[in-house]
Amino acid sequence: MSTMLNNVRGHLVVVMAPMGSGKGTVIEHALELHPSMYRTISCTSRAMRPKEVDGDHYHFISPEQFEARIKSGDFLEWATFAGNKYGTPKSEVLPRLDNCGVVIVEIELQGVEQLLELIPRENMTIVYIEAGGWEVLRARAAARAPMSDTELEARYQRFLIEQQSKPMADVIINNDADIETAHAEFAQVIEEAYKKCKV
């Protein structure tokens, strides 16, 4: 059973979004505006794809290493997707929240549900970024990196689930056409997050 963390001083911005929604571009823009903000780097048991960099896109570890870290309680949250595991190390988040920082974490629905049991609601803002229907997102994702039919089907099933998870979000940002508006709306979320930090 998870134990709620008390006396959290910083603020956690949780970003949920289907693949191809442009969340990376929106987040990068916010990081340029707020260099002190931290974007977590998740661990994954999947193989590295072309052009990915270990320690930049993900921390790539073996399935055995991932299982060992689960058992040792290293992850704030973790989830399985398409046969691979993804997790957010506690070391990426908790020290920064203790130091009044604003931290961005990009996770799936399974991870959000785990965080809701750990982080007080007043210390967390959940943002959902959407950008059109499945065919639009599928085309964007395919242009970015090759995927097997199995992985595409898994992502489609996740897309359906994530569409149903939108009511969990505090803020929904539509990144379908006007990227400038999406940038401005997300920047407002970050500004509010800083105001909620307990210095």
What is the distance between the alpha carbons of residues 133 and 141, in angstroms, rounded to a whole number? 13
Buried b (16+ CB within 10 A) or exposed e, 107-129: bbeebbebbbebbeeebbbbbbb
- Please, are residues 165 and 109 in contact by the beta-carbon 8 Å criterion? yes
Residue 69 burial class via C-beta count within 10 angstroms: exposed 0-12, middle 13-18, buried 19 and up: middle
What's this model's pTM, rounded to 2 decimal places?
0.88
- Please, are residues 140 and 155 in contact by the beta-carbon 8 Å criterion? no
64: left (phi over 0), alpha (psi -120 to 50) or beta: alpha
**Lowest mean pLDDT, pick from 1-10, 12-21, 22-31, 87-96:** 1-10
Give per-residue pLDDT as tens, 79-136.
998 789 999 999 999 999 999 999 999 988 889 999 999 999 999 999 999 877 888 7
Helix (H) or strand (E) holding 112: helix 109-115
